[in-house]
């Protein structure tokens, strides 16, 4: 049997977060009906990751791919999730998949959201884009966002600037003003986040002076495809937790 795919989401008090995660998981299931997909949350929502793992073990499941529903490899991917997986029932063989980003498919999803918000491909050369992420204290994660912005700029946009809702600078509103000062005819804000919540709302407020604000990535088909690529790669990776004797 194929390993069970356990999608690990952060969780939020905002009900839109869990609803968006479940919508993405439904899209993943529709793309790969041969794979069992479960969802667990680190905090705030149920079921918890630990609860799902215990239920799977009780059913007799042996192989699990744990996939962090994260765009960058920061604290949750490096510390929180491995700690939870180490406490899983010992009968489970668990492989931790890589985070979703970076990926060319995610850039395609960002553009999808911008076009859905009203831009067209003809607007690219005259539009500056703010790549607005949640932010992190992890230098690796911040550097990845800056690299994505540079890569995206080379696809034809007037300019692309990274911005952060917390923990790092610049803020979304400052990046919007910078693009205005550069002379971009339009300024668009593309939230590089997966689901609504407190920090995405802060990004939206920072986009008040922009011409276009895209929606979060959510259940975009490109996101679901990245998720399945990470699952397939992890399915043949090393086992994180061995089966007990």
Read off the pLDDT of residues 38-86 as tens digits, 9 standing for 90 and up: 999 999 999 999 999 999 999 999 999 999 999 998 877 888 999 999 9
* 121-154 residue pLDDT tens: 999 999 999 999 999 999 999 999 999 999 999 9
Q: For residue 22, with 0-12 CB atoms within 10 Å meaning exposed, 13-18 middle and 19 or more buried, which class applies? A: middle
- The overall average pLDDT reported for the chain is 95
Q: Is the confidence at residue 224, as pLDDT, over 50?
A: yes
* 18-43 residue pLDDT tens: 999 999 999 999 999 999 999 999 99
Q: Is the confidence at residue 120, as pLDDT, over 60?
A: yes
SS3 content of the chain, % helix, strand, coil (to 5): 45, 20, 40
Work out the pLDDT band at 239, boundaries 50, 70, 90.
Answer: low
Q: Is the confidence at residue 11, as pLDDT, over 70?
A: yes
Q: How is residue 79 annotated by DSSP?
A: I
User: CA 89, CA 87: separation in Å to the nearest integer?
Assistant: 7
For residue 245, the model assigns a pLDDT of: 30
pLDDT (average), residues 210-220: 98
Decide: pTM greater than 0.85. Answer: yes
For residue 226, the model assigns a pLDDT of: 98
């Amino acid at each position: 049997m194929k390993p069970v795919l356990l999608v690990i989401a952060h969780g939020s008090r905002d009900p839109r977060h869990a609803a968006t995660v479940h919508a993405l998981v439904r899209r993943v299931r529709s793309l790969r009906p041969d794979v069992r997909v479960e969802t667990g949350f680190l905090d705030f929502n149920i079921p918890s990751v630990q609860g799902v793992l215990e239920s799977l073990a009780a059913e007799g499941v042996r192989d699990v791919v744990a996939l962090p529903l994260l765009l960058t490899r920061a604290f949750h991917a490096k510390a929180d999730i491995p700690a939870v997986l180490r406490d899983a029932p010992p009968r489970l063989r668990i492989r931790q998949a890589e985070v979703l980003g970076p990926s060319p498919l995610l850039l395609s999803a960002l553009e999808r959201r911008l076009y859905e918000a009203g831009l067209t491909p003809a607007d690219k050369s005259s539009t500056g884009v703010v790549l607005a992420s949640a932010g992190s204290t992890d230098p690796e994660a911040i550097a990845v966002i800056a690299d994505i912005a540079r890569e995206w700029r080379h696809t034809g946009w007037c300019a692309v600037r990274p911005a952060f809702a917390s923990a790092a600078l610049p803020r979304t509103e400052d990046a919007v003003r910078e693009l205005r000062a550069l002379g971009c005819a339009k300024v668009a804000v593309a939230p590089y986040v997966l689901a609504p919540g407190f920090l995405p709302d802060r990004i939206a407020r920072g986009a008040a002076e922009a011409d276009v604000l895209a929606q979060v990535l959510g259940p975009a088909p490109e996101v679901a495809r990245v998720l399945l690529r990470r699952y397939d790669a992890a399915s043949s990776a090393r086992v994180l937790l061995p089966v007990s004797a």
